Structure 1
Amino acid sequence: MRSPRLRLAALAAAPLLLLAGCATDGGDGDAASQSDDAAVTSAVLNGDIEELAVDTGEKSPVITWKDKPFTDGDLPFRVGATESRTVEEGDGAEVAAGDEVRARYLAVNGTTGEQLLSTYDADETVTLDLSNTNLFPAFLEELPGRKAGETLLLAIPASEAFGSGGNEQIGVGADDTLVFYLEVVSSAKPLTEATGEAVKPKAGLPEVEADGTSAAKITIPEGTEEPSKLVVQQLIKGEGEKVKAGQTIKVHYTGVKFSDGEGFDDSYQRGTPAEFPIGVGQVIKGWDEGLVGQPVGSRVLLVIPADQAYGELPEDTGSSTAPPAHELAGETLVFVVDILGAS
């Protein structure tokens, strides 16, 4: 029997706005693959990134065009190919290809002048995973070699971000140009296993042996009481920022059934960490409740009753039209999860 999978959404470790190919344009659905054929044919290309600057005197930065607020300029602002310009040099650690970069940014639609997103409004950072090929090519190409503390401007045609159709879902037309002001806060190599301070677990829990490079060995000692409520036990306390609801997290995990200790799924057999949004109902409830608030780098033991996993076994109604129960319905599940990143 094939092992059932968690309800994981295949999303990359980056904000939706910064992911290429998120929109479809009526073709084969792969907007990113059509970007080479995309051309701004009807739009006037009047943009020059050298004419842009940034006023950082307020809490949130303001992009200016020819010394005036961007929105007061002679819109639309359009470029035919990606342009970049350093605003201020950095003096921190150098970004390497494949790093996870913590950044702040402001994104504006160059056609309308409307703000698309600003991390400054909430005084937050985002993590850009440069090993993720779904990230805008401009970020994959422009960020390596820059240093922490550096700020830069980017002007990116929609065709070189989302493909020939743009992304109308977030208000970016096919002929629009995206203008970014981005601040490199820090960068580091992606975690491959939990890293931090070991935590002694409470007595009476499943026992765990984990080396971070292969599936954890989880043992249910005889006489261990099956919990009626979610159990969340740190095994390693990570040193990163706490996971927030709505972020996409990157994890390695192992799952077994409490009833017999039989394994049913682990990410190690697939060779890559799993990535999915957390705290928004995309995975089982026990994961949403157990992982939000945990620091990145943590290893967490979750013991999840059936009502917070795949539900209780349904009563036999005798109806042939009743939907079949999930293979793990009625089971209390035990997971060991290494939280490798959150963005």
Structure 2
Amino acid sequence: MRSPRLRYLAAAAAPLIFLAGCSPESSGDGDDAAATSAPGDDAATSAPPNGDLADIAVDTEGDEPALTWDDEPFSDGDLPFVAAGTQTRTLTEGDGDEVAEGDEVEVQYLAVNGTSGDELVSTFPNDESVTLALGNEALFPAFREGLPGTAVGDELLMAIPASEAFGEAGNPQLGVGPTDTVLFYLAVQNTWEPLTEAQGEEVEPEEGLPTVTMGDAGPEIDVEGVEAPEQLVTQPLIQGERPEVVAGQTIRVHYTGVKLSDGEQFDSSWERGEPTEFPIGVGQVIAGWDEGLVGQPVGSRVLLVVPAEEAYGELPEETEGQTAAPAHELAGEDLVFVVDILGAS
């Protein structure tokens, strides 16, 4: 049975477990990566490779899939399971589209610590999925190199040694020590080429909103006659057809922003010539973006009209005849954005 801690971590950790670059550094205060492994892990540091995926299977009879080792629960096997190098085994061959290099691949997965036998993260209990961007250099090489050539419908087992996963730092957040092999069961659900612009069904916007005209250098936004918003306005202009953005993901977007007061453009990734990436729904961007983009399908083009309090804040109030300098040059401004959501992982 999975612990409440692991259930709590699942949503936040699901995208991160595939990224070597996201592993935390050891704190050096005694509560380091090695402390996350099972008792007796000193032996694991010198344990010879004994891991063979031919001995591992997946039990799908219960409510959730679980790994077995020689037909017994994985945790009852001859732990630690130590792989000398990345291993991949196809359990079921699908008949869907083939995954190409650089694709974005939607998967469900279960991850298990080969040292302790503990389940780390599973997307199956809540019927969730994760999108892996195979063009992301931070993604484990096992996925960037092993998933191209598979097909939608494939079910795979992977064993990835520490040296090819999180390395000597381990990943304390996930409960992975510096010598732990991680095993994955993956079900490939979909695959597609990365988007360069919004793609989906056009949506007729509500009246009274800024008008948007797409040009070669991105959107032109006309704010003439538009009233200041009392609250955030989120208006899809194109409804995407890919999975919805989930808080905690990193999204890839093109965007342009203008001030509602005079229509002056203050930023545009289109003009810079490349999209930008950032975590969403976790307070790393303005509140209007966190609220307005989470839940939108990838592929969408979204018009956001953001009141100042959900952008860069209101102007400071005058106190005893003095006004403090604003924290941001756009403080006090209602803002308008057009955002193409190109990917989320």
Q: Can you list the C-alpha shifts for 1:95-146, whole angstroms capped at 9, x where unaligned?
A: 0001010101100000000011001111111101101111011000100001
Give the one of 90, 93, 109 matched to 1:89: 93
Distance in structure 2 (CA, Å) of the matches to 1:321 and 1:48: 69
Identify the residue that residue 33 of structure 1 maps to in structure 2.
none
Summarize the Cα distance change of 1:324–1:258 in structure 2 as closer, same or farther, 3 Å threshold: closer
Residue 175 of structure 2 corresponds to residue 174 of structure 1 = no
Letter in 1 for 2:222: T
User: SS of 1:141's equivalent?
Assistant: helix
Give the match for residue 5 of structure 1: none
Letter in 2 for 1:88: T
Q: Which residue of 1 aligns with 2:144?
A: 140
Matched AA of 1:294: Q
**2:315 corresponds to which residue?**
313
Structure 1: distance between partners of 2:266 and 2:329: 10
Query: Structure 1: which 5+ residue stretches go unaligned?
Result: 1-13, 28-39
Matched residue count: 316
In the alignment, which residue of structure 1 is the partner of 2:52? 48
Structure with bigger RCO (C-alpha 8 Å, 6+ apart): 1
Q: Name the % identity.
A: 63
Q: CA deviation at 1:317?
A: 3.9
1:107/1:115 contact within 8 Å kept: yes
Q: Residues of 2 paired with 1:205 and 1:168: CA distance?
A: 47
Query: How far off its partner does 1:267 sit?
Result: 1.7
Shift of 1:323: 6.9
Which amino acid in 2 is paired with 1:195? Q
Separation in 1, partners of 2:108, 2:175: 21
Counterpart of 1:217 (choices 215, 220, 228) is 220
The reply on whether 1:114 has 2:118 as its aligned counterpart is yes
Change (3 A) 1:321 1:133: farther
Gaps of 5+ in 2: 1-13, 29-43
Aligned equivalent of 1:78: 82
Instruction: Please show how residues 240-279 of structure 1 align to structure 2 within 5 Å.
Output: 240-279=242-281
Match of 1:205 in 2: 209
Could you state the TM-score of these two structures normalised by the residue count of structure 2? 0.86
Deviation at 1:293, TM superposition (A): 2.3
SS in 1 for 2:20: coil
Q: Secondary structure at the match of 2:302?
A: strand
**Any idea what the Cα deviations from partners look like across 1:286-323, whole Å, max 9, x if unmatched?**
11221222222111111111011000011244799967
In the other structure, the counterpart of 2:197 is 193
Contact 1:59 1:120 in 2 (8 A): no
CA distance in 1 between counterparts of 2:105 and 2:335 reads 34
Of 105-114 and 52-61, more deviation after overlay is shown by: 52-61
Structure with a larger share of its residues in helix: 2
Partner of 2:37: none
Residue equivalent to 1:281: 283
Partner of 2:73: 69
Given residue 232 of structure 2, which amino acid in structure 1 is its aligned partner?
Answer: L
TM-score, normalised on structure 1?
0.86
Query: Is the 2:299–2:341 Cα contact (8 Å) retained in structure 1?
Result: yes
Task: Tell me if the contact between 2:59 and 2:67 (Cα under 8 Å) persists in the aligned partners.
Answer: yes
SS at match of 2:158: strand
One-letter identity of the residue aligned with 2:131: T
Output the amino acid matched with 1:76.
P
Shift of 1:266: 1.5
Q: What's the Cα RMSD here?
A: 2.2
User: Structure 1 324/332 Cα, relative in aligned 2: closer, same or farther at 3 Å?
Assistant: closer
